[in-house]
Every structure is written in C-alpha cells, then in structure tokens.
Structure 1
C-alpha cells in the first residue's frame, strides 16, 4: 500500500505531460476518489483493534473457563471409563458441564456480533457524513474516529464571528447537512462541545472563555433543534473553554485551530447494551 502511494505523484506527472487537460482532470478525480476510499479503509482498520479490545478481553476470560471445563470433563470421562456403569449423578453433572460450554460459546458469539454491528454503524456514519460535507475543505471541517466514537470538528471561522456566539448563515448550511445525517439515524445521540483558545475575553455579553464556549455550544444546539428539527433529548451542550487544545496556543495559526466546535456522535449506550443483553438471553 505504501509503494502504491509513492507512485501517485509520478503517475500524476506522467499523465499531466501525455494527456489532454480534460483527461488529466478525470484521472485526477479518479485518484482523489481512490485516496478517499483508502482513507476510509484506514479509519476502519485503525479503529477495529481498539473497538474489539474490550470485547476480546471478555472473550479470553470466557475461553479460559471453557478450557478449564473441558479439562475437567476429560478427566471425568477418563475416570468413569473404568466403570461398567455410568452413575446417574455423574451423567447429570457431565450434561450440565456440556450445557455450560454451549452457553459460554453462545455468549462469545453474541459479544462478537454486537461489536461487529457497532463497527458497521460507525463506518456507515462516517461515510454518510463525508458524502454530505464533501464540498468543504479540511480547514473548515474534519471528521475523525477515535475509540469507536465519531468526531466532527468545525472551525471557529466557519461558525461564528470573533468573540460572538451567534451562528452565521454559512454555518447553518453546514449544520443542516449534519442534521440530515443525524435525523436519518435515530439510534444515535451526540454532544456539542465548544472550544476556545487561551486568550482571555470579557465584554458585555461574555464573562470569560468558559462562558463563550458554553454559549457557542448551546447556540449550535438551538439551531439544530429549531431550524432542522433535531429532537433536543438526543443532544447535549458542553463548554470546554481552552482546556482541551489541539495544539499549543503559541501562535495565531495554532490558536485558530483550537477555536472550534466539536460534535461528538455515539450510539445510544442503552441500545448497545440491550443488543448484548438480547444476545445473552438468546444464548440461554
């Protein structure tokens, strides 16, 4: 894969010199599409390991119990093999052990299925968001996946004027696209986080950066609810002030990146646990 990436610039130069501008543009578009598919696949690979780690830990514990039970069963069968008649009590114990093995195997399968379904929902969400917001530059909006959670980070310059918590008209267009994706997935909840740089602020409308970050988060939530019909019970507004920066606040460009609004999208935890519980019940 790395070698393929290294060939892209060379191929681009050769195409630029040998084909028409129209053909070159088409090939460039194809290259961009291929890169986007590669990035999506990379996101999937990077998140699966962390997503499955917790479930696999439980799987390992259950498999150890299975191994122990199998060893006990083997010893029991060896001992009983020397007897001419298997006692009723021994037969019942053996049957219970075998049923316990089947139950634990079913639980392992249910856990794996639940994690796989969650991975699929996350990948589908990322794909939908990138499709809806594809016309925006990376400097304005970024979509990332960390530990199974989807993060949409929108730049300060796109959403608000300096020191203001009023959502701009251009920002409402972006929020409308996000709302459309969210409304199509009622199984999701999300939190809107306001982030600032570390430059102190105080005026007639804002007390400090804490106040500004909270007001910006609630402004976004209100727009999503009133303008686009997102149910308020699915949203949480939070202010993080300047205390979770992306970069050090040591330059204007870094401070600009730290001034952002982040939408944290995640499956409803109660539904995810219900999925696991139903799998456990089915295994019994």
Structure 2
C-alpha cells in the first residue's frame, strides 16, 4: 500500500514538474517578445525625440526668419516711402529747373526781339547807313561803331556838328528803350598823344572823347543813368596800325546798347514768382 502511494506521489510530482517547465518556457518566450517590443519602442521614441528637437530648432529658425522678414518689410516700406518722396522731390526739382529754363529762354527771346528792333530802328534812320557807321549784333548786344572822322577833328575831343546829327538818331533809339544801358567806348590808334597838360596820353583822349559824346547824348534827353563812359586807348585795334588808313580805322567810338543785367534777371525772377503763385 505504501509503495503504491509512493509511486503515485512520484508520478504527480513528475507531471507537475513538467507542467511548470513548459509554463516557464512560455513566459520566457513572452517576456522576450515584450522586451523586443520595448526595445523597438525605445528606439522609435528616441528617434521621435531627436526629430522633435530638430523640428523645434527649425521652428525657432522659422520664427526668427519670419520676424526678420517682417522687420525688413517694415524697413523696405520705410525706404520705399522715402524713395518715393525723394523721387517726387527730384521730379519737382527737374520740373522747376525746366520751368526756369523755359522762362529764361522766353526772356532771352524777348531780349533778342528787342535787340532786333533796335538794329532795325538804327538802320532805318537817316544817315545811319553811312559806310563809316557799322551796326553789329554780337551775343545779343548791339554795337554801333562810328569812325572818328565823323565825330572829332584829329587829336580833338570836341564833337562835330555832323556827329550831333548822327548821335540824335542814336539818342532817339536809346530813349525808346529805358531798360537798356548805353556804354560809349573811345578807341585811338597807337600814335602817342602829345600831352598838353590836360590830356596826358591815349587813355585820357579815349575817355575824354567818350565823355564828350555822353554829354551830347545827355543834351538830347538821354537819361544819364543809362549812360556809361569807357576808354580803351589803342589796346583793342580792329586792324594792325601799319598804315594811315588802318590807323584811321582803329580811331573810332563804339556805342554799346545792352540790357541792364540786374533788371534783366529781376524780370526773370518776377516772372518765376508769378508763375509759382499760379500753381
């Protein structure tokens, strides 16, 4: 009986032991699977964490870049506004300069028209067509050159009666242009003047002849404010003083009819102010 019980107990133990090993093996296999899954999950988690950090850095970069772009846009807007303002000012300046040029050209055209009228008036006057009287226009200025033989006796500064007839025609034209000045230039040849105690040399003679003509013009009611006396002696010859004929050519009086420069520019400035006031 005891032997039978012992054999039965041994059989039960053996069966139980076999079942435990099988269970353990199953658990170990399951544990390995779980460990593998855990390792895989850990790797994926680490990868995700790395990618997340990279994304976070990229996000920070994008935020900063976006902020810089916004600031730059603001700067560009400011620059564009200033650029547009500067461009507008430049265009206004160019417009103003073009306007000034146009007004200046108009004034010059007006002056040229007046100059042409002066020349026409002089040339149409009786006696002005004399060959010893030359009328030229240079750079918008009228030059009337009168040979000394029509004005003075040799070595004298007393104006002849014939000269007064010619000067009366000049005075008439000058009186019609109160905004113009009349400069009288005396010119001599290169023969030295013999001093008489009053006139020392050709300088004195050229100036004295100029003032003598100016006094005649003043007697003819030319405003003395329009008159300018000038002497050039023998330093501006027309030809070489190589013959009596050439010296006679160089002895001359030149009357220069020209606009008053200050009034000329005042006229332009006044026109510019009037034009600006109309805008």
TM over 0.5: yes
- Is 1:126 aligned to 2:119, yes or no? yes
Structure-2 change in CA distance of 1:225 and 1:198 (3 Å): same
- 1:128 and 1:110 mapped to 2: Cα distance? 27
Secondary structure at 2:102's aligned position in 1?
A: helix
Structure-2 change in CA distance of 1:252 and 1:102 (3 Å): same
- 1:283 and 1:149 mapped to 2: Cα distance? 28
- 2:189 and 2:273 mapped to 1: Cα distance? 49
Q: Is the 8 A contact 1:143 1:152 kept in 2?
A: yes
Structure-2 change in CA distance of 1:93 and 1:199 (3 Å): closer
What are the equivalent positions in structure 2 for 1:202-221 lying under 5 Å apart?
A: 202-204=194-196, 205-221=198-214
Secondary structure at 1:199's aligned position in 2?
A: coil
| CA distances 1:64-120 after superposition (whole Å, capped 9, x unpaired) | xxxxxxxxxxxxxxxxxxx9xxx8767655654543343233222112212211211
- 2:229 and 2:105 mapped to 1: Cα distance? 33
- 2:147 and 2:84 mapped to 1: Cα distance? 68
Structure-2 change in CA distance of 1:134 and 1:160 (3 Å): closer
RMSD over aligned CA atoms reads: 2.5
Deviation at 1:206, TM superposition (A): 3.0
What are the equivalent positions in structure 2 for 1:263-274 lying under 5 Å apart?
A: 263-274=255-266
Structure-2 change in CA distance of 1:90 and 1:133 (3 Å): same
> Which residue of 160, 167, 183 corresponds with 2:175?
183
Structure-2 change in CA distance of 1:253 and 1:91 (3 Å): closer
Question: 1:262 corresponds to which residue?
Answer: 254
- 1:133 and 1:246 mapped to 2: Cα distance? 26
- Is 1:144 aligned to 2:144, yes or no? no
Question: 1:113 corresponds to which residue?
Answer: 106
Q: What residue ranges of structure 2 are gaps of 5+ in the alignment?
A: 1-75
Q: Which has the larger radius of gyration?
A: 2
- 2:120 and 2:174 mapped to 1: Cα distance? 13
| CA distances 1:197-252 after superposition (whole Å, capped 9, x unpaired) | 011121535322111111111100011112x0111111111111111110000011
Moved over 6 A (4+): 87-91
- 1:90 and 1:206 mapped to 2: Cα distance? 70
Secondary structure at 1:181's aligned position in 2?
A: helix
- Is 1:225 aligned to 2:218, yes or no? yes
TM-score (norm 1): 0.64
TM-score (norm 2): 0.65
Secondary structure at 1:164's aligned position in 2?
A: coil
> Which residue of 256, 260, 270 corresponds with 1:278?
270
Question: 2:5 corresponds to which residue?
Answer: none
Q: Is the 8 A contact 2:194 2:201 kept in 1?
A: yes
